[in-house]
Structure 1
Amino acid sequence: MPIKIPDGLPARRTLEAEGVTVMNETDAIRQDIRPLRIGLLNLMPDKIRTETQFARLIGATPLQVELTLVRITDHVSRHTAADHMATFYRPWSDVKTEKFDGFIVTGAPVELLPFDSITYWDELTDIFDWTRTHVHRCLTICWAAQAAVHHFHGMPKHTLPQKAFGVFRHRVLVPTSPYLRGFSDRFPTPVSRRTSMLSADIPAGRGLSVLAEGEETGLCLVDDPENRTLHMFDHLEYETATLAAEYTRDVAAGKTIAIPKNYFPDDDPSRPPENRWRSHAHLLFANWIAEIYRTTPFDVATIGQDATIGQDATVRSD
């Protein structure tokens, strides 16, 4: 089934051109199932590209999904038009009384700064705490994953000697995880970060489980059942040209940046890269949404209550 997003959102045109089924509101209300409510807290500077990346993956799943775009309440985006933000995004202060089946928090280009020096750190930690009572399943990405495990579990981040940049192979450690159904034993993932979290820093007795890890780049996927959260420290959601755009941008700005590893054919930036992670990106998001659908209660008001955690449920109104 399709994803339901606002008619005028730029992502709609992109997804329709790619063959992703996008539903309008009139058609959505005719179906006899409750749409899954998924929120996206978009912390990336390029809001439109990021919202398209996630909408593409969410919209490919066989369930009706209603996507709500969320922003930090008092943070003003410098890279996205104000009218786009006003039209399509809701501040967290407006949605914090609502319940969501799923909630995604993206990364942000602030990884070298101490967590508590981020201007919106207090609100972000409030959001993390809010997901425990108002969200059935949460997914954090890259810096947001680092921020979440630091907030919930006190894990430190470590600055890398050089940026981890490219497409790296990761090994599945828990093949029985519902999030990894259909995954190959090893899978490629785009990585773009200057800091890392270490498995050695995972505190004992907190129930954290490392699902996938890379020999070169460390933690990739960590399950956090206590907080009903999947932490992804890398970027399976990236489009084919995303790393190329980052590389070109930094070169044009005169920054010292290495060619992304295992990305351009023969390490030649003049040649178009090939996407070798798309299928696993779709698998991960399909599995995450399937797990939400399997366990989330039909009564939205009960989302986040301990009694609903881990129980099979349905979002169909029979």
Structure 2
Amino acid sequence: MWPIAGASKAKRLKWGSPQNQISWAYMKQLREKNSSMRVYDVNPYVEVYQFRDHLYGLFNQNCDGAGDVWMYLIKGPEKAMLVDTAYGLGDLKGLVDEITGGLPLIVVNTHTGPDHVLGNVRFDRVYCCDIEEQNIRNKCKPGAWDYLFDENGANIWLDFDRKDLPEYRDYELVGVPNGTTWDLGGGYEVELVWTGGHAAGHAMFLDKKGRCLFAGDDVCSDVIGCGGGPRPGGVNNQYCNLTTYRDQLAKLCRRLDEFDYIFPGHFVVNLENNLLLNILETLNEIIADPECYDYSVEHAGGQGGEKKVRMHKFVKGFGTIAYSANGVYPPEE
């Protein structure tokens, strides 16, 4: 993972787990050579890429050692939508307003995760899947950013000015059911599609007019971690497994005529819709035989740092699906 000469003000200090070669090479080429990339004065931490006339990718280096994260901004005829809020580093609201010309804004979350929800406090109202609402409340709270710094207050993973992180403030988080649709004006509809898997209430967002699917962390060119099993302290943990994701993805695969491209929350974007069929095929193989994995990795995790094993199976032409022993099937009632 040789350094990428990106344009963000933030600079990487160290990584956690390394990314695969394909994802890293893609991000290096994109960040160093893409002609649409722009950094706005209002927020020098975010690299803005214009992927369509109406669609912008807002690239953020992850404030911890995990993979860098995408937010997406859709400009409709009358309103705009922001998918995920990252850590809220810099003036995120000011950046969005400058890009959209001050259009009324709808903000949504794909799932719980500090790199997807801690920027919520930059906005007055945020929507999410109702299954995930309490998990997001438990994550986006006072002190949520403290783990980014050591005992002396120094940055651990990413070099940035601490004053540019937001401070927690109360905001309105609205949980909505699967299938909720927002109109950005003139019939420009975006639909919440619940998928489970990576998180209990993980949701994708289907831009019907732009024919794009914003897939969060349930699609990733590096590792699709949709089989982690119940998350400590989480609610609706029965949905954090491959079987739930497989069942919901099967429904989505019957709707491939409604979108053409997939924009995940990390790494390679603008993927063709038929990738979901390959992911579905791999999920079915694992569920039929959890021992069919291609390789496994032992790592420290959980309380006391006990060793855990994470299995990986390759998706045809893509990265891997990662799962643990308790993350294949729903827990027994």
Normalising by the residue count of structure 1, what TM-score does the alignment of the two structures yield? Answer: 0.32
Q: Which has the higher contact order (CA 8 A, sep 6+)?
A: 1
Task: Kindly indicate which of the two structures has a greater share of residues assigned to helix.
Answer: 1
Normalising by the residue count of structure 2, what TM-score does the alignment of the two structures yield? Answer: 0.31
